[in-house]
Structure 1
Amino acid sequence: MRTFGLIGFPLSHSFSKKFFSEKFENEQIADCSYELFAIENANEIQDLITAHPSLCGLNVTIPHKVNVISFLNEIDDAAEEIGAVNCISIDQNGNQPKLKGYNTDAYGFSESLKPLLEKHHQKALIFGDGGAAKAVKYVLDQLQIPYLVVVRNPVQNTILYSAITEEILNEYTVLINTTPLGMSPNLYSYAPIPYQFLGAQHLAYDLVYNPEETEFLKKAKNQGAKIKNGLEMLFLQAERSWYIWNI
């Protein structure tokens, strides 16, 4: 039996458990299970692995994506550059378990974004500068798409929402929301930008997937922009975890 799971705190609901439980059932993968491990501190990962010798892989969510790194033997290049891990492979065949960290958010975002990009999508605005923005920045750097980070309060190397003008929106045609704005239950919150200057040349991408169409996406779509939510990214990063655990 092979066990996989999700660590984080709290873990009231989990896309990952539903996804993998259904995957194992639909694909008739009988020797695998996926569990939720609500651990308050990242250092509890060591006791967790000792207590579950069948544990082969973990997904990592808030608040452990950064703190867990110090308990790993190795991390891949993307996770190192991003500074966050959301997938861990566990090799328990030796005397000591070997843990390697990955960031599959970057893969999921990249693979869901690339098919949408057109020649005029040369520059991007990133709304928010929290943990979710790290993977987005990494991917845009890889794709050689320059970007500006937009925030509510002044921070170095960012601009304020109030600074976004028609001229900026004409130049920066990819808009990416990495904040919780618009996420259930706060359905009517959205990035405060002048939506009247958006048009068919714009691509609006929201990492939020619940609801499927946030206010940000609705407002962009009403101006003729192309829109995308974060659901495919979520599926892609989950499948990438499965690939990593089975290398």
Structure 2
Amino acid sequence: MGKFDIKNLPELAVIGWPLLKTFSPPMQNAALKELNIPWRYEAIPVPQEELKEFFHLASQKMVGFNVTMPHKGDVYLMCDEVDDFAQKSSSVNTVVFERKDGKTVIKGYNTDAPGLLKSLSERAKGEFKKDIAVLFGAGGAAAGCAAALASWKMKKIAVVNRNVEKAKKMVDDLKTKFDGIEFSALYVKDKKEVFDIVKESNIVVSCIPEEGAALYQEFLEGNENKEKIFCDLSYGERPGRLFKRAAEKGFIGVSGIEVLLWQGVFAFEIFTGEKAPADVMRKALESIAGSWWF
């Protein structure tokens, strides 16, 4: 305990654990500089056992912060108020502290969901079918993505995970919040079922880290529908294993960098109350990763 020095906390941050890689600070700091907002945005690794301490200190000093793995579900429970996507996914990735009359109200938002929808809409060529979606993974990001896709009134949404009980829990929660959508949880080793639903789908979203990609790669074979979209939330300076395989199989590709951009745009506007300079944020990401992702 006592790891975090309240005097040195920035106005904004992204927290997670172990938080080995994040492109959020250069993107957000470029936007702050563009609008002459004298704040700084940093990456702060926060272990699970120190989350409550960090939250307490942050509530006294910071404007807010973004949240990445594995804290989105826990942070959701710590908020006083949450937006619609956060409520429907039980997942928060953006926190703002609203201080008034000596009291602090903790507001939680999920910008993963609108960030995904904006990215899919931007990348898709014209209108595309929104019937069946498949999600790889069952963590906080997957929950936000599932809620986003459910808001599009998909007919079916399948969650594929190596921990099928975790997928079932997520699906059961979503069923209580969305009517008229057939949700299902599939075990990644039940290969025929997974192959069948991926083949039938219009949208596939991978919410797993790059190190877990090999387990899911084979399911991208046999894409007869060339209008099908594949989105890989995992990102880096180069395309990941699943993104490259999907491109080889004719999917329309949406990189996690693009989703990061748009969720970051929405988060910036929540933090600052100003219109985000999206082009400046995109250029900051391009300076790190090149332009392969757009």
User: Are 2:135 and 1:135 aligned?
Assistant: no
1:15-61 CA-to-partner distances (Å, cap 9, x unmatched) read 22222222223x151422223444432322122333x2xx2221122
In structure 1, the gaps of 5 or more residues are: none
1:175 maps to: 204
TM-score (norm 2): 0.71
Q: How does 1:1-247 map to 2 (within 5 A)?
A: 3-25=11-33, 27-40=34-47, 41-44=50-53, 45-50=55-60, 52=61, 55-115=62-122, 116=124, 118-145=127-154, 146-152=156-162, 154-155=164-165, 156=168, 157-161=184-188, 162-164=191-193, 168-180=197-209, 183=210, 186=211, 189=214, 191-199=216-224, 200-210=226-236, 212-247=238-273
TM-score (norm 1): 0.83
Cα distance, 1:79 vs structure 2: 0.8
Residue 97 of structure 1 aligns to a residue whose secondary structure is strand
Q: How many residues align?
A: 238
In structure 2, the gaps of 5 or more residues are: 1-9, 169-183, 274-294
Amino acid at match of 1:147: I
C-alpha change, 1:124 and 1:30, in structure 2 (3 Å) is: closer
Native 8 Å contact 2:213 2:242 kept in 1: no
C-alpha change, 1:164 and 1:37, in structure 2 (3 Å) is: same
Cα distance, 1:127 vs structure 2: 1.4
Moved runs in structure 1, 4+ residues, more than 6 A? Answer: none
RMSD between aligned residues:
2.6
| Greater relative contact order (CA < 8 Å, ≥ 6 in sequence) | 2
For residues 130 and 97 of structure 1, what CA distance do their matches in structure 2 show? 29
Residue identity (%): 26
Cα distance, 1:208 vs structure 2: 1.4
1:108-161 CA-to-partner distances (Å, cap 9, x unmatched) read 111111242744442111112222210111011100112112233544442234
2:292 maps to: none
For residues 19 and 195 of structure 2, what CA distance do their matches in structure 1 show? 42
For residues 164 and 226 of structure 1, what CA distance do their matches in structure 2 show? 23
